[in-house]
Structure 1
């Protein structure tokens, strides 16, 4: 199942304000220490959420590129997505058996604004964005971020776009995401429509 969508931006506060003007409310997430980023979150219903991630002005320069191609962005962009699994090691092994290597698992953590520490495991974040193939994530005993993210929105549609849909579907099936819509397009892209009380918000 879709765990979350990643909307990367070069200016987190500005993007959060713009989404709010469109009716999509977010709540503060937390800082990713050492990566130079922080996020804001919106519940999308069904156990999924939107992560808006951008540079953290309160952190020093990380000395390496920020994830999701943030340093090269000129505006917000839907760049990645994650599939939630219960057993990450088993999911990695299954994907490799199907011909796709999602990479080795790594540990991550951040502290929420209320001081609660969240810890999770995931496969490597994409180096090229937008990433058609999802990364895999397992939350273990940690409270899922969707439970405390700003409510009110629902994911109306999500699609992967790729010039070779058959190849994209094969990769998604290997990662347990065969039910995700794949559309033909000249270039790889991600597209989502989020329904809010004020109407639909398009993320691309």
Structure 2
């Protein structure tokens, strides 16, 4: 079993401001994503060459779900954080067999939900209560049953490095080793929980 980066997650208080924030930093135009009816969210996407970055926010036009939204978007702490501006809060890795990955992992990634939008079909691990696993540094798992959106996205940005800061580096390292994560340069550092992505765009290094 192997796992590789599927996408990075930037959460925002609203989609328009989140998209503008990322476009201003990268100089790149994001592409439309869509609505997630199950959680009442919507997103916009930026290709990273084989993976992608999404800006996600609560969809004000969608009815509120009867359960907590993913990525902690309903939590007061997250809402207070996003009031100060968009933030890189999480990452998601592709696995070949969701059931096997959940059984073998040393951590609790949540339960696998079967989700769909248009022709897209996928399973996603979502922690009970919607909170981010290990504060966001432990990835969620995704198994695509259709083609990943990354294959249809323009790409002028390259992810050079993902830095994961956690109070328990050994625990996170063990979890990624169990998942047999490969492909993306990952740097794990000790300290308060934080994610930082370093992109290369037209020769410029940009940190998110």
Q: How far, CA to CA, are the matches of 1:34 and 1:137 in structure 2?
A: 16
- Number of aligned residue pairs: give it: 192
Secondary structure at the aligned position of 2:138 is classed as coil
State the TM-score, normalized to the length of structure 2: 0.83
Instruction: Choose which of 99, 110, 124 in structure 2 pairs with 1:103.
Output: 110
Instruction: Choose which of 10, 14, 24 in structure 2 pairs with 1:7.
Output: 10
Q: Which residue of 2 aligns with 1:59?
A: 62
Question: Which ranges in structure 1 are unaligned for 5 or more consecutive residues?
Answer: 112-116
Q: Does residue 31 of structure 1 match 2:35?
A: yes
Q: Which residue of 1 aligns with 2:188?
A: 182
Q: Which residue of 2 aligns with 1:114?
A: none
Q: How far, CA to CA, are the matches of 1:65 and 1:92 in structure 2?
A: 21
Contact in 1 for aligned 2:90/2:132 (Cα 8 Å) = no
Q: CA deviation at 1:64?
A: 4.4
Contact in 2 for aligned 1:86/1:138 (Cα 8 Å) = yes
For 1:1-204, list aligned pairs within 5 A: 1-22=4-25, 23-45=27-49, 47-71=50-74, 72=79, 73-74=82-83, 75-95=85-105, 99-111=106-118, 117-125=119-127, 127-128=131-132, 130-140=135-145, 142-177=146-181, 180-185=186-191, 187-197=192-202, 199-203=204-208
Q: How far, CA to CA, are the matches of 1:201 and 1:63 in structure 2?
A: 38
Contact in 2 for aligned 1:100/1:174 (Cα 8 Å) = no
Secondary structure at the aligned position of 2:126 is classed as coil
Q: CA deviation at 1:108?
A: 1.0
Q: How far, CA to CA, are the matches of 1:2 and 1:19 in structure 2?
A: 20
Q: How far, CA to CA, are the matches of 2:120 and 2:42 in structure 1?
A: 14
Contact in 2 for aligned 1:159/1:190 (Cα 8 Å) = yes
What do you get for the CA RMSD once the two structures are aligned? 2.1
Distance change (3 Å), C-alpha of 1:122 and 1:64: closer
Q: CA deviation at 1:63?
A: 4.8
State the TM-score, normalized to the length of structure 1: 0.84
Question: Which ranges in structure 2 are unaligned for 5 or more consecutive residues?
Answer: none
Greater helix share, 1 or 2? 2
Contact in 2 for aligned 1:26/1:150 (Cα 8 Å) = no
